[in-house]
Each structure stands twice: as structure tokens, then as C-alpha cells.
């Protein structure tokens, strides 16, 4: 299993990220974000809660598809925590969802991960995997940025070096959010997600 997971990471990381390319087959930039509601989740304080798009009041929403077991997510954990802290008071809401059909990526694993890493965003698990399919999530981590009208304005990777922070030269997610907060269109609207392939249930 470890060899299989590693190979998925390598394949996904080999995908280039170029502005103007369209990698997502389910949704497109500018379209209304698929609604979701009642996704069981854990809050940063460990309390049980749920995620519903209609409940979010902030102007900008960052939806991250994650998986605790994934090396790429583990490498990006601190960056996601820092990002959440940096935009906490800027009318931006960060939320995360796992849809992976892997035991450690489900709610008990999420609760443990929140406690160990001191996660500062609400993190849910969708057993049905419906939200992953609706958004066309294909890898973890995979980010979607929604504007005030809940239109999709950015899809893809957080930056250009998911495994090694010291090699990051392009901050796709931060740039997209900063643009929206300034009332502008993100210069880069879509990049290839880089990480572990999501394991959807068969059938």
C-alpha cells in the first residue's frame, strides 16, 4: 500500500501547472460553486460541527480537499495553517473536507490530526464523496476559491512546490485571494493540483 500511495504522489506531482490550462472536468472558473450542506466536521477546538456553504458569511471562501495520510498534505500542513491565520481577519473563511475512502482520513483521524497539528480551520469528512465529485477534486491538497457571490474564481494548487516550502516561487492561492479582496480578477485562475490522487469508491 505504501508503494502504491507513493506512486500516486509522484504521478500527480509530475503534472505541470500553467496559467490558462483547464484541468478540472466538473467545474469551470466563473461558474456558481456547487452547494453543500450538513457535512460532519470537527472545529479547531475539537467540538463536532458541520459544514454548509450557505452558513458561511465571509466574502471569500477557500475550500481545501485534504487527506491526513497524504505526504503532500503533510508537507503543506503548516502552510495551510499559516495561510488561515494570515487571513483570519480579512473576511476570508478557510474550510477543509476529506472524501478519501481511507480510514485515517475519516472523522476520527481528522479529530486526531486537528489536536496534533493545532489545526485552525473547520475540517469535515464526506462519506458520500458527493462534494468531491461535484467539485471535480482529483488530488490532495486541491484548493477552490469562491467569491462573495459564490462563484469559483480559482482552482488548483496552493503554490508551485507542494513538497518543499523552501522551493516555492509562486503563491497561487494567496495571489488569487489577494486579488479578490482587492476587487480584481486573479492573474492565474487555474493550475494543476499536485499531491495524492483521491481514492473514490468504486461503483
Cell numbers placing 4: 502504491
Q: pLDDT tens digits, residue range 127-160?
A: 999 999 999 999 999 999 999 999 999 999 999 9
Q: What is the CATH number of domain 2-197?
A: 3.40.30.10
3 state SS of 176: helix
Chain segment 32-43, per-residue pLDDT in tens: 999 999 999 999
Domain ranges of the chain: 2-197
- DSSP state letters, 2-58: HHHHHHHHHHHHTS---TT----SS--TTSBPPP---EEEE-TTS-EEEE-GGG--S
pLDDT of 60 reads: 98
Amino acid at each position: 500500500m505504501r508503494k502504491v500511495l507513493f506512486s500516486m504522489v509522484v504521478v500527480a506531482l509530475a503534472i505541470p501547472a500553467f496559467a490558462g490550462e483547464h484541468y478540472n472536468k466538473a467545474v469551470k472558473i466563473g461558474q456558481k460553486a456547487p452547494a453543500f450542506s450538513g457535512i460532519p466536521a470537527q472545529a479547531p477546538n475539537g467540538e463536532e460541527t458541520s459544514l454548509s456553504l450557505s452558513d458561511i458569511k465571509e466574502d471569500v471562501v477557500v475550500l481545501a480537499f485534504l487527506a491526513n495520510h497524504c505526504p503532500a498534505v503533510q508537507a503543506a500542513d503548516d502552510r495551510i495553517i499559516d495561510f488561515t491565520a494570515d487571513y483570519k481577519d480579512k473576511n476570508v473563511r478557510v474550510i477543509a473536507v476529506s472524501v478519501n475512502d481511507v480510514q485515517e482520513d475519516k472523522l476520527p483521524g481528522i479529530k486526531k490530526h486537528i489536536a496534533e497539528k493545532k489545526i485552525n480551520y473547520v475540517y469535515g469528512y464526506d462519506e458520500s464523496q458527493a462534494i468531491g465529485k461535484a467539485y471535480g477534486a482529483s488530488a490532495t491538497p486541491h484548493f477552490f476559491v469562491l467569491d462573495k457571490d459564490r462563484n469559483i474564481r480559482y482552482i488548483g494548487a496552493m503554490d508551485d512546490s507542494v513538497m518543499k516550502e523552501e522551493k516555492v516561487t509562486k503563491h497561487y492561492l494567496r495571489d488569487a485571494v489577494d486579488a479578490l479582496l482587492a476587487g480584481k480578477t486573479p492573474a492565474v485562475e487555474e493550475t494543476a493540483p499536485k499531491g495524492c490522487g483521491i481514492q473514490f469508491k468504486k461503483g
